[in-house]
């Protein structure tokens, strides 16, 4: 656990806690407004949380070669998370009426 400094660990751990809180708050907002696309956003946030947890786990065990698969998992879930967040944002934007269907003449 000596690979990262204490302040860096504080940032890593607090970021994971904040992300969990954000997922819960978005889900709760979806329940209060009865708008399913907010639930979609909370699900879309999960791959990014998994990515952060992979990074913390790898650092916790001092970046051993035996856990290098976590690096690939972290990178993959980051890409997946970016894509799901983009799709969720588009769903929210579309649901808010920001995109008008164009008429074909």
**Residue ranges in 1-105 assigned as alpha helix (H):** 6-33, 36-44, 46-60, 69-95
Cα–Cα dist 69/65, whole Å: 9
pLDDT band for position 17 (cuts 50, 70, 90): very high
pLDDT in tens, 50-87: 999 999 999 999 989 999 999 999 999 999 999 999 99
Q: How far is CA 79 from CA 40, 50, 84, in A?
A: 17, 12, 9
Beta carbons within 8 Å of 68's beta carbon, 6+ residues apart: none
- Tell me which residue has tokens 């008429």: 103
Whether the per-residue pLDDT at 43 is higher than 80: the answer is yes
Q: Where are the domains of the chain?
A: 6-62+74-95
57 near 70, Cβ under 8 Å? Answer: yes
- Tell me which residue has tokens 């400094």: 5
pLDDT in tens, 84-103: 999 999 999 999 886 565 55
pLDDT at res. 20: 98
């Amino acid at each position: 656990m000596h690979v990262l400094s204490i302040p860096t660990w504080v940032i890593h751990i607090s970021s994971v806690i904040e992300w969990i809180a954000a997922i819960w708050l978005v889900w709760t907002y979806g329940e209060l407004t009865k708008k399913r696309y907010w639930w979609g956003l909370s699900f879309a946030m999960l791959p990014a949380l998994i990515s952060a947890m992979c990074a913390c786990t790898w650092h916790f065990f001092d970046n051993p070669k035996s856990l290098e698969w976590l690096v690939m998992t972290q990178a993959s879930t980051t890409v997946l998370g970016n894509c799901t967040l983009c799709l969720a944002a588009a769903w929210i934007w579309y649901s808010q009426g920001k995109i008008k269907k164009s008429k074909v003449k």
